[in-house]
Amino acid sequence: MVDLNDSQLEDIKEAFEVFSQTPELEIGYDQVGSILRSLNLNPTDEDVHKVLGRPSNEDMAAKKFKYEEFLPVYQQVLKDVVEGTYDDILEGVRVFDKEGNGTVMGAEIRHVLRTLGEKLTPNEISSVMDGQEDMNGSLNIETFCKYLIDGKKEEK
């Protein structure tokens, strides 16, 4: 397992307290992905499901974690989840460059973020897209991908 420093443990405890909806300081299995993302990890729903031992939908809705039980889950995700690279993101965004000119329409990227895969909320989409589009509503693919990677580095 990955050793956690005092700062990480403090952040985890604080997030755990925020997400806990019980006096016993417990979170539901269905909250694990959200709490991990609030701690600047970005596991997919599949990653979370895997680290939880592939629980049934009933277990996801009913089972709970105490703080001490959550720490190994956090450590496992920290160890196992592989982040996307610049090249991965660039390849994914280039799919939408129909003219091959290095730009995509921001509206198309917003639509994808809202409807495909793990859907983002309007606020999440705005935080990703704000300031990235030119006056015509286009995104420079390389600049946008660098922004996404650099923004991720700044969060850590």
Q: What is the pLDDT of residue 156?
A: 46
CA distance 98 to 75: 41
Which residue has better confidence, 21 or 65? 65
Contact 20, 65 (CB under 8 A): no
Tell me if the pTM is above 0.85: no
Beta bridge partners of 105: 138
Q: What is the pLDDT of residue 106?
A: 93
pLDDT at 141 over 90: yes
Neighbour count for residue 27 (Cβ, 10 Å)? 23
Average pLDDT of every residue of the chain: 87
Q: Going from the N-terminus, what domains does the chain have, and what CATH number goes with each?
A: 6-80 (1.10.238.10), 86-155 (1.10.238.10)
Per residue in 63-121, pLDDT (tens digit) is 998 999 999 999 999 888 766 778 888 888 999 999 999 999 999 999 999 988 778 88
Q: What is the pLDDT of residue 63?
A: 93
